[in-house]
Chain A
């Protein structure tokens, strides 16, 4: 009779053999999946693994990498530019992006949801969504022109009402806030559609029951609609967190992280290290730190944003 210690080992062996049996039975499925798997390894997992390795080296992208251990990580964590400018900017921009993505598209979706006339609701939905087709670089150039200190529309309006013109992106004191203002009124088309889909999925009888019980518009919004779109909020928040940590389009096209590091973020510093300074090892280390940050924030997001009432469809 086998001993009690041998039983778990025997169970796991049996389970393994069962898996092998099933693989052998459907071998052609695994063969057909192998192509996708190879591409995934080659273009997703291998570059990531390579970046992990190179983050511990001094590498210019061409010559043989020199192992330097934790030197790149130490440089990043002791860098004034990264720790005193880039990270605080990223936190501020990230928090703002989360608030912006969570609040304004939801309010826009709630307004469209309440429009009774179908044609009018469609018109407003289209109005909010149409700007998605504008390429990002065009959007950036338009706002850059609006912000131009000499010929931009904003300063012309300020002068018209008798106020002093501002330097916006060209002044370290106002550059970051100018970046945050971009996109006003911040009703992002994709976010609006996601929230609207969530609102439309709420069964009509739930809303009608609330109306019968005497719930007003605001109470319905806060007590019924908002809790029932928590999954959408969670999704929007995590997507925007990832975007906030990774994006540097404005820095690349307009500010170069300035003036005087006023708008720099870690992703921009990572790009500079790789593409301007050919310090791929340092850039890989920065990428690793960003990855860990995104991963931790995703876990926190999933744990923190919950609702007692998540509607289970079915």
Chain B
């Protein structure tokens, strides 16, 4: 078969058409790219922000049954833009979910392309392995500046409840996030199940919880809902949140030894440092923590070693209690449970169980809510004059009245002094003795979380001896430590 001859005229026509098409496509506007600097007389700024759960609902969005239209942050933005007509605030719609599985790959791609929104959400913990990559601006010096939108404020950081800052510091003690809200973790329980099982008083200590679990199990309930794997609530329960509440009680006095920078938070750097020195973790306390989980094991749902939808089981009335966060109050208000529920604090471990137990209340409470904002690091080189504008906007957002509006809409706990929230948050505002400074091997690395999950998948259903458990735990921990040190060679102690 021979090729058809193309005449010069035909070729030039085709080339011209293709060139025109290429030119048109290059000129097409991009939906989310910030505008360039305007003429010198009045520079205009376009700030693109991913506000996570506070993202205003687009006007043309179809609302699900029970879902309310979100307007708070748009109202705040409109007020700001009225004060600063040369600034436009646009809210970005994130394409995926907000779990770390979705977020980190998205950030990897966006940061490599340098087209991430100017301001974006992430729980700062998720960013721990990535602090040295320049993804976020260091905001430490801005925290020392006065917030012009709050009367009498001399230093921005004074606005924040202490846990907002200490729970989000980088391994080197720097501030990378503006944390307007937080979460608290408690145990949600089915009041009807408690009544049917004859649990008449709210358990407080570990022993009282064990009695309650037995009664609930005898009444046919899954006494305690948790699973080791899975995203969402199930995967956070064991060992992550359980460790945060239990292990911290067992090492109450040791925390100070590990907290090298005195910020009341054990960072991945401190874990790596003390692990190399041989004094982290406290393996005796860790073994006791494992024993507590073993005591809980008979009351867990079948299949807890894998991925379970604990929320579904609770809603169906099969699970009597499970650990959940304050955000659930909003979800339960929008889609009410078929029974009455309330909240319990995590069991207090008493001295008969662990002689060094402080018998105090530890709560996982910190800035892991939906209003944790970071500023893209590449702005410092790409658009340096936009950085102060972004910070000014965030300062405006952090004014107590604005945080109140946002927290009332999202159902989260404000971490700014004088800000308020919904009445349903009341249990989470109950006093506690210490916000958990350390939670689990997740603090070391995301891989550490999976290694610890594997450890308890092996230990809990099986018949390992204490020695076998510790051998496996140390092996898995050391493997994760080696990986972290490989990624952060300057953390190695020679």
Q: Which of B11, B133, B458 contacts A62 (CB 8 A)?
A: B133
Binds B, one of A123-131, A165-173, A226-234: A165-173
User: Is B347's beta carbon under 8 Å from chain A?
Assistant: no
User: Is B119's beta carbon under 8 Å from chain A?
Assistant: no
Q: Is the CB of A150 within 8 A of B318?
A: yes
- Chain B residues with CB under 8 Å of A175's CB are 306
Is chain B's interface secondary structure helix, strand, loop, or mixed overall? helix
Interface residues of A in 47-74 (CB under 8 A from B): 58, 60-63
Binds A, one of B145-153, B309-317, B330-338, B383-391: B309-317
Q: Which residue of A lies closest to B133 (CB)?
A: A62
Q: Is the CB of A256 within 8 A of B134?
A: no
Q: Which of B3, B130, B307, B308 contacts A26 (CB 8 A)?
A: B3
Distance to closest chain A CB from B487 (angstroms): 6
- Chain A residues with CB under 8 Å of B111's CB are 62
Q: Is the CB of B487 within 8 A of A259?
A: no
Q: Is the CB of B309 within 8 A of A148?
A: yes
Q: Given A63-B132, A148-B309, A167-B303: A258 and B104 within 8 A (CB)?
A: no
Q: Is the CB of B305 within 8 A of A259?
A: yes
- Chain A residues with CB under 8 Å of B306's CB are 149, 167, 169-171, 175, 255, 258-259
Q: Is the CB of B229 within 8 A of A276?
A: no
With the chains together, A32 CA to B14 CA distance in Å?
10
Q: Which residue of A lies closest to B449 (CB)?
A: A276
- Chain A residues with CB under 8 Å of B3's CB are 26, 29
User: Is B376's beta carbon under 8 Å from chain A?
Assistant: no
User: Is B358's beta carbon under 8 Å from chain A?
Assistant: no
Q: Which of B129, B228, B458 contacts A278 (CB 8 A)?
A: B129
Distance to closest chain A CB from B331 (angstroms): 20
- Chain A residues with CB under 8 Å of B308's CB are 148-150, 170
Q: Which residue of B lies closest to A28 (CB)?
A: B11
Q: Is the CB of A256 within 8 A of B305?
A: no
User: Is B191's beta carbon under 8 Å from chain A?
Assistant: no
- Chain A residues with CB under 8 Å of B91's CB are none
With the chains together, A151 CA to B310 CA distance in Å?
11
Distance to closest chain B CB from A68 (angstroms): 9
Q: Is the CB of B6 within 8 A of A255?
A: no
Q: Is the CB of B446 within 8 A of A276?
A: yes
With the chains together, A260 CA to B472 CA distance in Å?
12
Q: Which of A26, A151, A170 contacts B304 (CB 8 A)?
A: A170
Interface residues of A in 227-277 (CB under 8 A from B): 252, 254-256, 258-261, 272, 275-277
Question: CB-defined interface of B1-39 with A at 8 Å, one 1/0 digit per residue?
Answer: 001001000010010000000000000000000000000
User: Is B453's beta carbon under 8 Å from chain A?
Assistant: yes
Q: Is the CB of B446 within 8 A of A167?
A: no
With the chains together, A110 CA to B305 CA distance in Å?
42
With the chains together, A165 CA to B303 CA distance in Å?
11
User: Is A279's beta carbon under 8 Å from chain B?
Assistant: yes
Range, interface on chain B: 35 or more
Question: CB-defined interface of B96-118 with A at 8 Å, one 1/0 digit per residue?
Answer: 00000100110010011000000
Distance to closest chain A CB from B9 (angstroms): 12
With the chains together, A132 CA to B454 CA distance in Å?
35
User: Is B276's beta carbon under 8 Å from chain A?
Assistant: no
Q: Is the CB of A279 within 8 A of B486?
A: yes
- Chain A residues with CB under 8 Å of B6's CB are 28
Q: Given A28-B11, A260-B457: A255 and B130 within 8 A (CB)?
A: no
Q: Which of A58, A60, A151, A172 contacts B457 (CB 8 A)?
A: A172
Q: Which of B222, B302, B304, B307 contacts A169 (CB 8 A)?
A: B307
Question: CB-defined interface of A22-49 with B at 8 Å, one 1/0 digit per residue?
Answer: 0000101100100000000000000000
Distance to closest chain B CB from A251 (angstroms): 11
With the chains together, A172 CA to B453 CA distance in Å?
13
Is chain A's interface secondary structure helix, strand, loop, or mixed overall? loop
- Chain B residues with CB under 8 Å of A60's CB are 133, 487
Q: Is the CB of B304 within 8 A of A278?
A: no
- Chain A residues with CB under 8 Å of B237's CB are none
With the chains together, A61 CA to B302 CA distance in Å?
40
Q: Is the CB of A151 within 8 A of B318?
A: yes
Q: Which of A149, A258, A276, A277 contacts B454 (CB 8 A)?
A: A258
Q: Is the CB of A256 within 8 A of B450?
A: yes
- Chain B residues with CB under 8 Å of A144's CB are 307
- Chain A residues with CB under 8 Å of B307's CB are 144, 169-170, 254-256
User: Is B196's beta carbon under 8 Å from chain A?
Assistant: no
Question: CB-defined interface of B433-446 with A at 8 Å, one 1/0 digit per residue?
Answer: 00000000000011
- Chain B residues with CB under 8 Å of A29's CB are 3
Q: Given A277-B483, A278-B129: A150 and B453 within 8 A (CB)?
A: no
Q: Which of A63, A151, A255 contacts B229 (CB 8 A)?
A: A255
- Chain B residues with CB under 8 Å of A150's CB are 222, 301-303, 308, 313, 318
Q: Given A63-B133, A149-B303: A259 and B312 within 8 A (CB)?
A: no
Q: Which of A58, A149, A172, A272 contacts B450 (CB 8 A)?
A: A272
- Chain B residues with CB under 8 Å of A167's CB are 302-303, 305-306
Q: Is the CB of B303 within 8 A of A151?
A: no
Q: Which residue of B lies closest to A27 (CB)?
A: B11
Q: Which residue of B lies closest to A68 (CB)?
A: B486
User: Is B447's beta carbon under 8 Å from chain A?
Assistant: yes
Q: Given A151-B313, A255-B307: A260 and B132 within 8 A (CB)?
A: no
- Chain A residues with CB under 8 Å of B454's CB are 258, 260-261
Distance to closest chain B CB from A310 (angstroms): 25
With the chains together, A89 CA to B185 CA distance in Å?
38
Q: Which residue of A lies closest to B484 (CB)?
A: A277
Distance to closest chain A CB from B303 (angstroms): 3
Interface residues of A (CB under 8 A from B): 26, 28-29, 32, 58, 60-63, 144, 148-151, 165, 167-172, 175, 252, 254-256, 258-261, 272, 275-279
Not counting A62-B134, A256-B230, a sample of 16 additional A-B residue pairs whose C-beta atoms are within 8 angstroms of each other reads A26-B3, A32-B14, A148-B303, A150-B301, A150-B308, A150-B313, A151-B313, A167-B306, A169-B306, A172-B305, A258-B305, A259-B229, A272-B447, A275-B105, A276-B450, A277-B129
Q: Which 5 A-B pairs have the closest CB atoms?
A: A170-B306, A170-B303, A149-B303, A62-B133, A259-B305
19 contacts between A and B (CB under 8 A): A28-B6, A58-B486, A149-B306, A149-B308, A150-B301, A150-B302, A150-B313, A167-B303, A169-B306, A170-B305, A170-B307, A258-B229, A258-B306, A258-B453, A258-B457, A259-B306, A272-B450, A275-B105, A279-B486
